[in-house]
A and B are shown apart, each in its own frame.
Chain A
Amino acid sequence: MGQPRLNLKGVTTLLVDSDLFTRGLVANILRGFGMDSPTVGETGRMAQHHLEHHYADLVIMEGGLPDMPAADLIKWIRKQEKSPFRFVPIIVMSGYTQLRLISAARDAGANLVVKKPVSPAALFDRITWVARTARPFIETSDYIGPDRRFKNIPPLDGKMKRDSDETEAADGNGIETQQSLNSAA
């Protein structure tokens, strides 16, 4: 089989990083992939403000934002129940000194974490992954985000595997399915 082909034209990206030069680096990589220029923000608050007024198909953020933990921004996004960006794919870029924050970002609901320096190959493969992989979203009292146990297996058949996995009946078959939320914008 051939290599992956992605059509990223028209994908709107929100890039959040406090460092101007890093924003330029990542933006250049994305443009090299055929993507439009990303909207950029320096802080978590700027990202929240942008998302309150605009849509994004993809969020790429650094692991250590200057004004709030990246985990807080991710949780805020995942808790926007009425918003089309609630399920937006989030890729977190971790600097060398931010590697301790990785587990917090993942537990907050990030789709993927990538170590800086971000190579074109690493970023392209991760965008391909989040674009092509239908990963279930889990919503519990203390976690909203992609299934962390997911290993490229088909979606569940509606039967919970453990007794504690009591699913709130939402559509008659025990699984609440929300589709095309993101395409509403």
Chain B
Amino acid sequence: MAGKAKKKIHFPKTRLAELAARSGGILRDDALDGASKSLEGMRDQADTQIRAAIKAMEDIVFSRAAGEALDDSQMIAILRHADQIVTLAGTFCYATLDTAAKSLCDVTDGLIRAGVHSRQPVAVHVQTMHLLAPGTMRLSAEHAEKMLSELAKVSAHFNFESLAANQVNDNIEMNAEQLKS
């Protein structure tokens, strides 16, 4: 019939499904335990990666004088390094660094979208992240919270939409309990 879209429906059997259904295998708890131990063995490398990413951002930010703007490629590089730190800080449970890195992503993304490449809000975040990085001086929880609240003020000043507003909403979320049962 003219104007009606043709549609095919397939019910593919994947090899992943066939292999995963074989007898034997690994229980969820054992799998998570094995993976967590495996990850923990990478913590030192992750710390090194985090410090290197912060150093790279410092090099970018402090290559410019206080009143100067960053250029396009520098802003994008900041975003890339900050995104990597979000991943690593989240994986290895550095909560305060995770918060600061997400705030930097939000501010940098907003500045890029607004076409404003101000150095100062980026610099404040990078300096804070330096202090929150693993292996540096250990801040008290109170001091760390104070620093994060200052970053929150910077973010509030610009009032950019947080990247976290883009939600991941998969069927998996609603079926997570089914999977465990």
Contact = CB atoms under 8 A, between A and B. Distances in A.
Interface of A: 1-11, 19, 21-22, 24-25, 28-34, 55, 57-58, 87-89, 94-100, 102, 112-121, 123-132, 134, 136-141, 147, 150-152, 155-156, 163-168, 170, 175-183, 185
A32 B87 contact: no
Given A99-B163, A112-B172, A167 B16 contact: no
Contact of A117 (B21, B29, B34, B90): B90
B15 interface: yes
Interface string B157-181: 0000001101110111011101111
Interface stretch (B38-46, B62-70, B123-131, B133-141): B38-46
B19 A87 contact: no
A94 to B, nearest CB: 7
A164 B86 CA distance: 45
A7 B11 contact: no
A9 to B, nearest CB: 8
Interface of B: 1, 4-29, 31-39, 41-42, 45-46, 49, 79-80, 82-84, 86-91, 101-102, 105, 109, 163-164, 166-168, 170-172, 174-176, 178-181
Contacts of A57: 14-16, 19
Given A175-B11, A179-B13, 6 more contacts: A99-B164, A115-B168, A131-B14, A134-B13, A168-B8, A181-B13
B157 to A, nearest CB: 21
Given A6-B31, A137-B12, A152 B178 contact: yes
Given A87-B12, A152-B171, A175-B9, A34 B26 contact: yes
Secondary structure type dominating chain B contacts: helix
Nearest to B40: A28
Contact of A120 (B1, B5, B31, B46): B31
